[in-house]
Structure 1
Amino acid sequence: MTRTVGQLTVTALQDAEGPFPSPRQECFPDATEAQWSAADAHDPAARGAGGEWWLRYRSYAIRVGDSGPVTLVDAGIGPAGSLAADWAPVPGHLPDELAAAGIQAADVSAIVLTHLHNDHMGWAVPGDSPFTRARVIVQQADVDVYRGNRDFTGQYDRLIEPLMAQGRLQVLDGDAPLGPGVRLVATPGHTPGHQTVLVEDAGESLLVAGDLLVHAIQLLHPELAYVSEADPEQARASRAKALAQAAARGTVLAVSHLGTAFHDPT
């Protein structure tokens, strides 16, 4: 599934899908039954047959023209032995998805990780990654978190430190241009260094949202907190600001985990 934004093409790539291990009501404890009903009507594919929260694990490929270099936003859950293997439906199939979209691993010049949760970085890990020449772009605030928790999370030892040793880690602090028509926007809260990717060209725009929102219930009710947000108040503010700007500008949202990849502005 693709969307065009002027001369840029954004392709949704599904690494995997499966049920979330916790009941969705526990993940959004403040949500009402009416809000769940509205969310299910808006995004019915995000609810499994038994009422469980059914997630897609997506990455997005951004390309200028038909043959330009590719920026990959997020890197999925990864192979069978990835850091997400204890809870997510590994192995993922991102390399096959890219090939089916006509994108070779060597075409990927940059990987933007919206944040360092292990279901977004699996195929960027050296040793598991086919993207051996791509720079990997993260925010300093997330690097700091995992440097301080390296004894039990694995992100620093398996991802950050090896990429630093290879000279492929690019660490930013806040908003930054990435290339023609592509800009990184800091949206902290889900993690301290969460970032989104804004694609703009020819009067059109698309926001690759990462985990700015993780379920349609937050799309309809941005005030609702998700239990895995590091700073719920900051996440709420980032989400409300981004969604308000998207609505005002007619920006398409490209989302990680909802049943449908692209959501048109309403």
Structure 2
Amino acid sequence: MPQLSRRAFASALPLGLLGGSLFGGGMIGGASAFAATQDTANAPVSVTPLAQIRIGRFTVTALTDGYADMPYGYFPGRTAAEVEQAAVAQFTARPSGVRFLFNQYLVEDGERRILIDAGAAGSIGQTGQLPQALAALGLQRDQIDAVIVTHMHQDHMGGLILGGKNNYPKAELYIDRRDVTHWTDPAKRSGAPDYLQTSFKMAQEVVRLYPKLQAIDGEREIVQGVSIVDLTGHTPGHIGVRVEDDGQSLIMVSDMIFPVVHPGATDVFFLFEQDPAAAKAMRDRFFPRAASEGALIAATHMPFPGLGRVVADRGQMRWQIADWALQN
């Protein structure tokens, strides 16, 4: 269980929102801060959403690879009708399911650029926008120094191997050893359901195409101020990433929190989870601790930019969106 601290998590200074018209928040950097394209004079403008906060010496930028709508029946522990009703109440309901975002996070300290997850890259829903989001920052994929993959589901690693090639050729790649072992095991693959086969196939390709892959064991520091947090359960080697400096901290919790069902209920799962009992046990430990300590959290599938806190409200856990507005 990660050791959270109020000093570390409760304070982080929001820098602002790029492409701020999406939220009505503060926009920084002027026109160059976001990418907008318009095919014709009458076509709608497409904005690449980016948002940034400062954590001590780090700048953390929220990016997105796109979205997909997950069927209401993908949440064991509740009926499809119950999930749809909750989604309608939270304005995340779509005709085909719950709207999921695919958020990634770029961590920069002036010397290194570390990307947390690489997106689905078109393998699910309307995805494949991460390269465009990086380009809006003036970056190409060969300028990324390291990629941390929180777990080996296709929506977190698809961008690594899109087109059958190493798309981050200069990056060191970090993945928990337990996930590497699980997702490259032929026996596990042969017994897995069809909806997990893409992840098994992609995992093999990641291992083949990334000779710099470092299979990491347990919690460790990647660089000073960027460390791995063990959040096993969703997959055998599911991890989070803590960014911490100068008394400020942010923890990216990946798939610990799903929209609509979390953090209010830990007995609701997602279809892709390998060990529901372990996932529930981790959430049962993590959510109350995060709420008591005011942990600032970033979550992959929550509405962009995925930043918020778990709060206890009259005995019920709920998600509180964090304020991205400029602050003095």
TM-score, structure 2 as length reference:
0.69
Structure 1, 32-41 or 168-177: larger mean CA deviation: 32-41
Instruction: Show the 5 A alignment for 1:108-147.
Output: 108-125=144-161, 127-147=164-184
Kindly indicate whether residue 55 of structure 2 is the aligned counterpart of residue 8 of structure 1: no
- Pick one of 298, 310, 313 that aligns with 1:254: 298
- SS at 1:60's partner residue? strand
Paired residue total: 248
Q: Equivalent residues in 2 for 1:18-97 (5 A)? A: 18-20=68-70, 23-24=71-72, 26-31=73-78, 41=89, 43-44=90-91, 46-48=92-94, 50=95, 52-64=97-109, 67-78=110-121, 80=122, 84=123, 88-89=124-125, 92-97=128-133
- Write the mapping of 1:197-212 to structure 2, written as runs, cut at 5 A: 197-212=241-256
**SS of equivalent residue, structure 1 residue 116:** coil
Contact 2:67 2:127 in 1 (8 A): no
Distance 1:194 1:214 in 2: 14
Partner of 2:185: 148
| Counterpart amino acid of residue 97 in structure 2 | E
Once residues 139 and 246 of structure 1 are traced to their aligned partners in structure 2, the CA distance between those partners, rounded to angstroms, is 23
Offset at residue 30 of structure 1 (A): 2.2
Report the CA distance between 1:38 and its aligned residue: 5.6
The one-letter code matched in structure 2 to 1:116 is: M
2:257 to 188, 196, 213: 213
TM-aligned CA distance change 1:17 to 1:90, over 3 Å: closer
CA contact under 8 A between 1:223 and 1:240: conserved in structure 2? no
Question: Match for 2:243: what amino acid?
Answer: V
Is 1:225 matched up with 2:269? Answer: yes
Determine if contact 2:120/2:155 at 8 Å carries over to the other structure.
Answer: yes
Partner Cα distance (1:114, 1:247) in 2:
22
Whether the 8 Å contact between 1:138 and 1:171 is mirrored in structure 2 is yes
Distance 1:62 1:242, change over 3 A: farther
Question: Are the equivalent residues in 2 in contact too, given 1:69–1:107 (CA < 8 A)?
Answer: no
8 A contact 1:206–1:251 mirrored in 2: yes
Moved runs in structure 1, 4+ residues, more than 6 A?
Answer: 32-36
User: CA 1:51/1:118 → structure 2, altered by over 3 Å: closer, same or farther?
Assistant: closer
Identity of aligned residues (%): 29
Instruction: List alignment gaps of at least 5 residues for structure 2.
Output: 1-50, 191-196, 312-328
Please tell me the root mean square deviation across aligned C-alpha atoms, in Å: 2.4
Structure 1 unaligned blocks of 5 or more: none
Could you say which residue in structure 2 is the equivalent of 1:192?
236
Q: Could you tell me whether the CA contact under 8 Å between 2:143 and 2:170 is conserved in 1?
A: no
Instruction: Determine if contact 1:205/1:250 at 8 Å carries over to the other structure.
Output: no
